[in-house]
Amino acid sequence: MPSNNFTIKQLIELDACSKCYECVRWCQAYEERKDDLVAPALRLRAFRAMLKAERGLPLLRRLLGGRKPDGDELKAMAEGAYRCTLCARCAAACPNKIDLRELWLSIRQELAERGLHPNGLNLARDAVRKQRNVVNYPNEERALWVDYMMEAPEDAYQRDRAEVVYYVGCVGSFSPAVQSIPEAFVQFLTRTGADFTILGAREWCCGFPLLVAGMRQEMEVLKRHNVEVVREVGAKTMVFTCPSCYNTWLNEYSVELPGVELLHSTQYVEKLLREGKIRLGELGQKITYHDPCDLGRNSGVFEPPRAVLRSIPGAEFVEIEYNRARGLCCGGGGDLEISDPQLAGAEASSTLAAFEATGADVIVTACQQCKRSLQTAKEKKGSKIRVTDLVELALQVLED
């Protein structure tokens, strides 16, 4: 029996591709590699042929879909499928509105079930199974970053009950390169008088890295635990500085938590600003904004961060040529850093170069992974442009 990984809609979408190659034009991975099996339209064509050769009316399989790929071909197709950040620029550009990101996820699910995923993803899966975080550190150290803060409260921001839960995420919690983001955000929350808590060791990975690896089934246990913890805290609002966690909670968890408002940190800051609860001070710099894929294209949050940046007095806000739905990817998504770190680095370098062309002093983003990727590319290049997260900037210019 064929797998349950594709919906009827998705199988129709495979036939709806007109091979116009508009998706290829926007694919940064293809731009870097020029590899046919990375090109979205050709990737789709290869998997369509495979599925048609395996499914449907037996007499027509050969006629409609061609032959089944052999082991080497399938391996090459799998490599192509994982050389993708799932940034969904292809989906935004598709004239036939094909939901390509969802298709890539289903294809990865199919490949992982056949054991064709990169080995590095098994390590990530095992880490989550054992330690409940994707980086394989003891989960008790999840809030260790608080210990390094100058003025952390005794409870280390971990309270039994609170109005707001700040869900930090694995990368923000464990990666020293971007721990400045949760540090800035807890200070921001404190200075704005929020009744909030972080979850510390009670926080488990949201499952996003496994979802994009094609291991959706691994998420269930994480989901049950995380939802339970948020219920225990009795929060009305959850805030995320990680767009991937935000996207996962929004799409996979939210049904379990009716009445709990899920906000990305950019939305939270913008809300306070709109309600007149905070004021931002002067910043005499030229700033630009990088749309994180999982926040912009994949969650539809484009305007709140821009509203915050435009409201900073003295700051000159400039847009990069490709922004919002056509925004560039930092190369850090879709587990690409695990399956092809060189490609991830190449994408980050091209994106950084495009931002440098705006003449901005600061690239503001709203994602720890984007910050990390762009920061690494910047250091490699020796560029002078500063990369920061919106919450860091908001804290910097926050007026008492």
Partner 1 sequence: MPSKTVAFFMLEIVVLGVFAIGLIGSVAFWLQGSAGGRRLPFWDKAWHVLGRVKLIFHGATLREFLLDWLLQRRLLAAGRLRWLMHICFFWSFIILFFVGSVGLMLAERGLLPITKDDPWFAFVNDFAGAMALFAVAIALYRRFILKENVVKTFAEDIVLVVLLAVIVLSGYALESARLIAHQAPGHVARYSFVGYPLSLALRGASLDWWGAESAIWWVHVVGGMSFVAYLPYSKMFHLIATPFALAANTVEARKREYVTQQRHKDTERPRNVVLDG
Cα–Cα distance measured from residue 68 to residue 83, given in angstroms and rounded to the nearest whole number? 22
Residue whose CB is less far from partner 1, 305 or 345:
305
Q: For 150, how many CA atoms within 13 A lie in the half-sphere containing its CB?
A: 3
Residue whose CB is less far from partner 1, 299 or 365:
299
Cα–Cα distance measured from residue 46 to residue 79, given in angstroms and rounded to the nearest whole number? 13
Query: Given its phi and psi angles, is residue 280 left (phi above 0), alpha (psi -120 to 50 degrees) or beta?
Result: beta
Residue 249 is given by DSSP the state: I
Q: How far is CA 130 from the centre of its chain?
A: 23
Residue whose CB is less far from partner 1, 179 or 266:
266
Return all residues near 63 (Cβ < 8 A) that are at least 6 apart: none
Residue whose CB is less far from partner 1, 7 or 341:
7
**Which parts of this chain interact with partner 1 (CB under 8 A)?**
2, 4-13, 15-22, 24-25, 30, 36, 39, 41-42, 51-52, 55-57, 60, 63-65, 93-99, 234, 236-237, 254, 258-261
Cα–Cα distance measured from residue 121 to residue 134, given in angstroms and rounded to the nearest whole number? 10
* Least distance in angstroms from the C-beta of 373 to partner 1: 26
Residue whose CB is less far from partner 1, 42 or 170:
42
* Least distance in angstroms from the C-beta of 182 to partner 1: 24
* Least distance in angstroms from the C-beta of 386 to partner 1: 33
* Least distance in angstroms from the C-beta of 9 to partner 1: 5
Cα–Cα distance measured from residue 7 to residue 314, given in angstroms and rounded to the nearest whole number? 51
Residue whose CB is less far from partner 1, 51 or 343:
51
Residue whose CB is less far from partner 1, 57 or 150:
57
Q: What CA–CA distances, in Å, run from 103 to 12, 107, 189, 280, 299?
A: 11, 6, 38, 42, 17
Torsion of CA 127, 130, 132, 136, to 10 degrees: -40
* Least distance in angstroms from the C-beta of 161 to partner 1: 12
* Least distance in angstroms from the C-beta of 100 to partner 1: 11
Q: CA end-to-end span of the chain, whole Å? A: 63
* Least distance in angstroms from the C-beta of 44 to partner 1: 11
